[in-house]
Amino acid sequence: MDFTPRDPNWENRVRSSYAAQAFMTNLGAELVHLSPGAVDLELKMRTDLTQQHGYFHAGVTSSIADSAAGYAALSLFAPGFGVLTSEYKINLLNPAAQKVLMARGRVVKPGRTLTIAKADVYGLDEGVHVHVATGLFTLVSVPGVKD
Amino acid sequence: MDFTPRDPNWENRVRSSYAAQAFMTNLGAELVHLSPGAVDLELKMRTDLTQQHGYFHAGVTSSIADSAAGYAALSLFAPGFGVLTSEYKINLLNPAAQKVLMARGRVVKPGRTLTIAKADVYGLDEGVHVHVATGLFTLVSVPGVKD
Amino acid sequence: MDFTPRDPNWENRVRSSYAAQAFMTNLGAELVHLSPGAVDLELKMRTDLTQQHGYFHAGVTSSIADSAAGYAALSLFAPGFGVLTSEYKINLLNPAAQKVLMARGRVVKPGRTLTIAKADVYGLDEGVHVHVATGLFTLVSVPGVKD
Amino acid sequence: MDFTPRDPNWENRVRSSYAAQAFMTNLGAELVHLSPGAVDLELKMRTDLTQQHGYFHAGVTSSIADSAAGYAALSLFAPGFGVLTSEYKINLLNPAAQKVLMARGRVVKPGRTLTIAKADVYGLDEGVHVHVATGLFTLVSVPGVKD
């Protein structure tokens, strides 16, 4: 879908807000794609991101899915509104232990107060592209919150 | 609800599997309560667990909710079955920046293949007890996976 | 939890809006309990409410769960705001073919724009009380919509 | 995606099971498309399918989304397994009062025990095509249940 940002400064705003998410720095997650209503994040496998069987913890998968969906939403917000996640649901389709985990956040329906987005997470290795998770997210635009 | 574990070794099994979740160590999350079908986890506020406004990142909240629900489920599994999260949904009720974040995982309906659990997350400070999130989780018992 | 309605006319308002839900009449669902933030609905088994194995269709279970959650939310809305469901998630715990299906909607967190509610559905027979489903709902209060 | 049915009789099986869903007959919902992993259902606006503002009740939208997702899943099941919905989540994107409501169920990931599907619901009128809802569904294949 084609979206038109309401904030001429949308790109700087998303990038600087993302840079301030200390938890994404903890996970080593980088913003690798940004366009209106669309954000991709990637991180690399690290032992301290795993659960007991050596797969990425579902919480890691969900965390980058949530940030990808949230910044996809923020890219379409009017100036002066910040983004908070209201709720989400995620299906974990395959356990993942690939070298790279990528989350693709895409806005499904923008709105003044509520924005609905989806996110899909993939595990990437040489010649490997596994669908790890798919989720739906509700993001709220909060007036007076800096983002 | 009152549950009877199917594995006489359930307590050791949950504790040693939890200790192997490197991501929980990353978050500083500790197992503070364990009984059949019930697990509480707690972590302390740290800058590298926050999003851009200084609140706990929704991914952190979800991660301990997921592990609390997952280990509540595992406590009731038969020997020889491991636990994986199939899907979950979480509502973030209040932004949280308290000193302690606690997740309470409770089994709603145990099953041979699928176990349904809920988790509630609270932000704790002196005299403060905020309901941060509530979620529903589907856990799968996987034969032949060590846990 | 204890809630205080913001509309002195909350009881009439919920009852007359409920009476206008033609689909609830189709299902034969009756409002059997109403208090601030709490609504119970009941319907009786009928062949035309079943799926292919003779159980209540998941859609019927969800429909009364949704209306119970929605009216629990509406009971706390200020005058002049109508209720719409933004999203929900439901886990179907047990197939149900009891004589009566009851949905209990309860507000978890009221809000000016978003209200979070839960609903549990039970199948009732003489001496039988089966937990059929549990769900989480986000309800929106919409200004200028009659309810 | 391209799926290969495991039951040579998949088409008859889906159609006759669908015909046995008395609740779909109640709603006037017809199966208008069937291919492996894909089912479309349609129903026509009727007063007894509405909520208090004259829109389709969220329960109606969800019911056809659930049946579309469930039969998309069943189309890929091995012979001798029946389908039950384990859980789902749905976001209601726009209120709908169009002449026709269509649900598109599509399998995301087939599995021996769990199948993940999505469903999107659209409101159709002359020249109008509104995205009414989007949802994610977990379907269980149950051995020994006739479908």
Closest Cα partner for D27 from D53, D75, D71, D62? Answer: D62
* Over residues A36-55, mean pLDDT: 97
Look at residue C145 and tell me whether its pLDDT is greater than 90: no
Looking at residue A145, its pLDDT comes to: 86
Q: What mean pLDDT value characterizes chain A?
A: 97
Closest Cα partner for B93 from A62, A85, C85? Answer: A85
* Contact: C138, A140; criterion CB under 8 Å: no
Min Cα–Cα distance to chain D from B115, Å: 11
Looking at residue D144, its pLDDT comes to: 87
Look at residue A2 and tell me whether its pLDDT is greater than 90: no
Min Cα–Cα distance to chain C from B25, Å: 30
Residue numbers in B near A134 (CB within 8 A): none
Which chain D residue is nearest to residue A110, measuring alpha carbons?
D93
Radius of gyration of chain B (CA): 15
Looking at residue B40, its pLDDT comes to: 98
Residue environment code for B96-131, b if the CB has 16+ CB neighbours within 10 A, otherwise e: bebeebbbbbbbbebbeebbbbbbbbbbbeeeeebb
* Over residues A28-55, mean pLDDT: 97
CA distance D132 to D123: 6
CA distance B65 to B30: 12
Q: What mean pLDDT value characterizes chain B?
A: 97
List the chains bordering chain B where 3 or more Cβ pairs fall under 8 Å.
A, C, D
Q: Chain-centre distance of CA B6, in angstroms?
A: 20
Written as one letter, the residue type at B14 is V
Tell me if the pTM is above 0.90: yes
Looking at residue D146, its pLDDT comes to: 84
* Contact: B60, A23; criterion CB under 8 Å: yes
Cβ count within 10 A of residue C43 = 20
Residue numbers in D near C48 (CB within 8 A): 22-23, 25-26
Model ipTM value: 0.96
Looking at residue D2, its pLDDT comes to: 82
Min Cα–Cα distance to chain B from C14, Å: 25
Look at residue C114 and tell me whether its pLDDT is greater than 80: yes
Looking at residue C144, its pLDDT comes to: 87
Min Cα–Cα distance to chain A from C86, Å: 9
Min Cα–Cα distance to chain B from C119, Å: 12
Chain B interface test: which of D86, D88, D139 (most B C-beta within 10 Å) = D86
* Over residues B105-123, mean pLDDT: 98
Look at residue A146 and tell me whether its pLDDT is greater than 90: no
Which chain B residue is nearest to residue A67, measuring alpha carbons?
B59
Mean pLDDT by 10 residues, chain D (147 residues): 92 97 98 98 98 96 98 97 97 97 98 97 96 98 90
Looking at residue D93, its pLDDT comes to: 98
Look at residue C121 and tell me whether its pLDDT is greater than 80: yes
Q: D70 to each of C79, D16, D56, how far by Cα in Å? A: 40, 14, 21
In A20-123, alpha helices (H): 22-27, 58-74
* Over residues A11-40, mean pLDDT: 98
Question: A64-87 pLDDT, tens per residue?
Answer: 999 999 999 999 999 999 999 999
Which chain C residue is nearest to residue B138, measuring alpha carbons?
C91
Q: Return all residues near C12 (Cβ < 8 A) that are at least 6 apart.
A: none
List the chains bordering chain C where 3 or more Cβ pairs fall under 8 Å.
A, B, D
Looking at residue B2, its pLDDT comes to: 82
* Over residues A110-123, mean pLDDT: 97
Looking at residue D16, its pLDDT comes to: 97
Tell whether C58 lies on the interface with D, counting CB pairs under 8 A: yes
CA distance D145 to D79: 10
Looking at residue A51, its pLDDT comes to: 96
Q: Chain-centre distance of CA A115, in angstroms?
A: 14
Q: Which of residues 61-120 of A touch B (CB under 8 A)?
A: 62-64, 66-67, 70, 82, 84-92, 95
CA distance D49 to C132: 23
List the chains bordering chain D where 3 or more Cβ pairs fall under 8 Å.
A, B, C
Percentage of the residues of chain B whose pLDDT score is greater than 90 = 96
Looking at residue B94, its pLDDT comes to: 97
* Contact: A87, C138; criterion CB under 8 Å: yes
Question: C65-83 pLDDT, tens per residue?
Answer: 999 999 999 999 999 999 9
Look at residue B60 and tell me whether its pLDDT is greater than 80: yes
* pLDDT band at residue C146 under the 50/70/90 scheme: confident
* Contact: D109, A94; criterion CB under 8 Å: yes
Quick one: tokens of D136? 């994610």
Look at residue B146 and tell me whether its pLDDT is greater than 90: no
Residue whose tokens read 């039950």 = D84
Looking at residue C41, its pLDDT comes to: 98
Query: What homologous superfamily does CATH list for D10-143?
Result: Hotdog Thioesterase (3.10.129.10)
